[in-house]
């Protein structure tokens, strides 16, 4: 099996967290709703934090596409941690930035400390992508980036479980999003990444 998703866990998740009208969105691929883009404000205005306490301004990656994924190391979809490393190997040198954002918001499935998690991802998946400090991605305590992303694309585009994916273009605007079951190595995700990398090179936006 590619994923160790327990049926009870999945049914419970769908019944408790998703309105019936959103189940098709959760099980689908990229978000198709028209974004409410305010070009005067972008992902580059937000700052995450690293496990060592240092700030990580997204403005450091201006001119490069960024894939932001909320992760959980005990989730049934945790194999996607390895998928992220596959993308890092394929696209990192071309300019893609991958940010894994650990969160314990869904099912309490990130029990590891920040220090333990970095070592775990490196040992189990060879992770060389950036892992932020543990972050809230839903509700009133959600990181400002996640609140902004919801404002841009609407409630159907917000994370409803671990491993929700946002792709940021080199200009800092949301390019698209992908729901939990869509693997980072899927054809659709790869095409979206390659499109943004092509934009980066065509516009001479890379550093």
Catalytic (active-site) positions: 75
Backbone angles phi, psi at 119, to 5 degrees: -65, -40
Please report the DSSP string for 37-68 in residue order. --TTS-GGG-EEE-TTS-EEEGGGGTTS-EEE
Tokens linked to 202 = 């065509």
CB of 131 closer than 8 Å to CB of 121: yes
How far apart CA 9 and CA 12 sit, in angstroms, is: 5
- Contact predicate 167/177, CB 8 Å: yes
User: Could you tell me the sign of the dihedral formed by the alpha carbons of 7, 105, 167, 174, in that order?
Assistant: positive
DSSP for 145-199, written as a single string: HHHHHHHHH-GGGS-SSSS-EEEE-TTSSEEEEE-TTS-TTSHHHHHHHHHHHHH
């Amino acid at each position: 099996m590619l994923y160790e998703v327990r049926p009870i866990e999945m049914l419970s998740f769908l019944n408790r967290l998703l309105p019936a009208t959103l189940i098709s969105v959760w099980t689908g691929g990229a978000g198709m709703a028209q974004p409410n883009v305010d070009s005067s404000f972008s992902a580059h205005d937000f700052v995450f934090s690293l496990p060592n306490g240092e700030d990580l301004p997204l403005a450091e990656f201006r001119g490069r596409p960024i894939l932001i994924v909320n992760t959980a190391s005990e989730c049934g979809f945790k194999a996607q941690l390895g998928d992220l490393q596959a993308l890092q190997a394929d696209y990192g040198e071309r300019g893609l930035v991958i940010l894994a954002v650990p969160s314990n918001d869904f099912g309490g499935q990130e029990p590891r400390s920040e220090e333990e998690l970095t070592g775990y991802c490196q040992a189990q998946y060879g992770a060389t992508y950036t892992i932020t400090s543990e972050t809230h991605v839903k509700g009133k305590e959600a990181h400002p980036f996640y609140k902004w992303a919801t404002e841009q694309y609407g409630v159907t585009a917000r994370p409803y479980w671990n491993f929700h994916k946002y792709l940021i273009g080199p200009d800092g605007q949301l390019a698209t999003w992908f729901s939990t079951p869509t693997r980072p190595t899927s054809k659709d995700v790869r095409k979206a990444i390659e499109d943004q990398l092509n934009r980066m090179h065509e516009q001479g936006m890379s550093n």
